[in-house]
Chain A
Amino acid sequence: MDKKITPLSKLFLVIIFFILYAPIFFLIFYSFNSGETMYDFEGFSLEWYRQLFHDTRLFIIVLNTIVVALLSSLFSTIIGILGALAIHMAKRRQTKNALLSFNNVLIVSPDVIIGASFLILFTMAGVKLGFYSVLLSHIAFSIPIVVLMVLPKLTEMSPSLIDAARDLGASSWDVMSKVIIPYISPGIFAGFFMALTYSLDDFAVTFFVTGNGFSTLSVEIYSLARRGISLNINALSAILFLFTFALVVIYYFITQRNKPNDMGVRKR
């Protein structure tokens, strides 16, 4: 196809990319500052990284964050798959739509509302605010995302696939484990991945339901940032950026590899 991009529109794209990335690289740049401000670059140093790696408190917080993220995405993936199956197998159209609407409530709700309502819920139920309340909240808000990632794969799957499996003598369990689950596995991976990033990124909900003594990275950054500039946040952001970028690259290659058969991209 003849598609040409004029130099002007190229410039526009360059500016957009610059604006999107400049603040991030700005942060990373100053993480190597031997001084203490984000405007006066005094000299190159790795002092802030050294400080960061010796900060055991922060280390525990990072660990907390990762544990919560992994556990919550694991549980939410399992429940999400079951949910997607429940929606997919619902016979009546209204049931399907109702389930889907309930599913989407937490996705469209602003974080503050989720946070505030979960805070009330945990207080009423007598759950102590801390690790469990945070974990439960993360599981709760990740489930609908997993459902939305898995459901399209289920609807895309031809029903004759299941009939074929039954025809070849598969039991319900065989159908599930040997046909359905392998077929929807790209959706499951994507869902797990999204749940992971949602959990790692979440600030607002965690901020509401975390008690004293338990903190995740986002909450920690917030309280540090409210106190003003401190360059070990920069060092932290550099590391997080590298980590995120690595995840993105992995994700890209997984989806690229899956493309010909799984993403259903038709090329003429």
Chain B
Amino acid sequence: MENKLTRNLYKVPYLLWILLFVIIPIALVLYYSFFDIEGHFSLGNYQKFFTPVYLQMTLSSFWYAFLITAISLIIAYPTALLLTKTKHKQLWLLLIIVPSWINLLLKAYAFLGIFGTYGISNSFLKVIGIGQQQILFTDFSFVFVSVYIFIPFMILPIFNSLNELNPTLVDAAKDLGASKWTTFRRVIFPLTIDGVKSGCQVTFIPALSLFMLTRLIAGNRVITLGTAIEQHFLVTQDWGMGSTIAVFLIIIMVLIMLLTNTRKRGV
């Protein structure tokens, strides 16, 4: 007979991983947030976080993340809806996802060329008579590139939930007299809300923390929570303050998860 110990031995690597790479890192971030730059225990970092500078940064980071999420959703939902109606829908979906597998930095880099002073978008603006504009290193370019990057991630869960939607429910709504719009509003959208939520989740949280985009595309004009963390950890070496911001980011993350994770109803 195998004894209990050896039977549970296979769990060790995984549990060890949970301990070492999930629990301890978070504990360490929390721990470090109570130390100032000289290594003394203090609550100073938290006090600093509630000063206007940091609060404003948090607020603007939120605003941008919200904007990016909302625009992505507005574009992604109809796209997903149309994709489910195409003939080879899995193939088309795959083609939507391919760009998301291209290295994110390469995509950002592409926009350096496209939005550049002499770039293709400026040539276009000149042709239609608006004239040359500063596009790169503006909030616009930041939001545009972010939306570009997040759209596939938003489309995927929405597509999946639309795909799982029982088509006879749509027939049933029509049968009961609902017009196309009513069917969408009363049946299709409520039943795919889970896909929308997870799409927003995978967009909003990273949008709060993407630092490479702000560096490359927004030219430090936009400071997100992510940029601030990177700044503190890798530039000013103030790990304490970086950790404090990270703690808040984690709290926000948990709140968003709780907000968007409602119990699933299924038949």
Contact = CB atoms under 8 A, between A and B. Distances in A.
Contacts of A185: none
B23 A102 contact: yes
A12 B77 CA distance: 12
A112 B226 contact: yes
Interface in B79-127: 79, 82-83, 85-86, 91, 94-99, 101-114, 116, 118-120, 123
B145 to A, nearest CB: 9
Q: How large is the interface on B (under 10, 10 to 19, 20 to 34, 35 or more residues)?
A: 35 or more
Contacts of A82: 10-11, 13-14
Contacts of B99: 20-21, 24
A112 B211 contact: yes
Q: Which of B110, B111, B120 has the largest number of chain A CB atoms within 10 A? A: B110
A208 B246 CA distance: 14
B91 A252 contact: yes
Contacts of A13: 79, 82-83, 86
B208 interface: yes
Contact of A208 (B96, B148, B208, B234): B234
Contacts of A119: 233
Contacts of B24: 121
Interface string B117-161: 011100100000000000000000000000010011000000000
B101 A248 contact: yes
A167 to B, nearest CB: 19
A86 B104 CA distance: 34
A248 B98 contact: yes
Interface string A134-160: 000000100100000000000000000
A213 interface: no
A225 B226 contact: no
Contacts of B105: 203, 218, 221-222, 225
B29 A226 contact: no
B83 A38 contact: no
Given A86-B11, A113-B29, A20 B82 contact: no
Contacts, number: 214
B2 interface: yes
B205 interface: yes
A108 B257 contact: yes
A interface, over-half SS: helix
Given A109-B253, A120-B32, A229-B113, A23 B209 contact: no
Given A21-B99, A38-B119, A83 B148 contact: no
Contacts of A221: 103, 105-106, 109
B233 A116 contact: yes
A241 interface: yes
Interface string A202-235: 0110011000000001100110011011000100
Interface stretch (A1-9, A42-50, A51-59, A66-74): A1-9
Interface of B: 2, 10-11, 13-15, 17-18, 20-26, 28-29, 32, 75, 78-79, 82-83, 85-86, 91, 94-99, 101-114, 116, 118-120, 123, 148, 151-152, 167, 201, 205-206, 208-209, 211-212, 215-216, 226, 229-230, 233-234, 239, 242-243, 246, 249-250, 253, 257
8 contacts: A30-B113, A85-B10, A111-B209, A120-B239, A121-B20, A201-B103, A218-B105, A233-B109
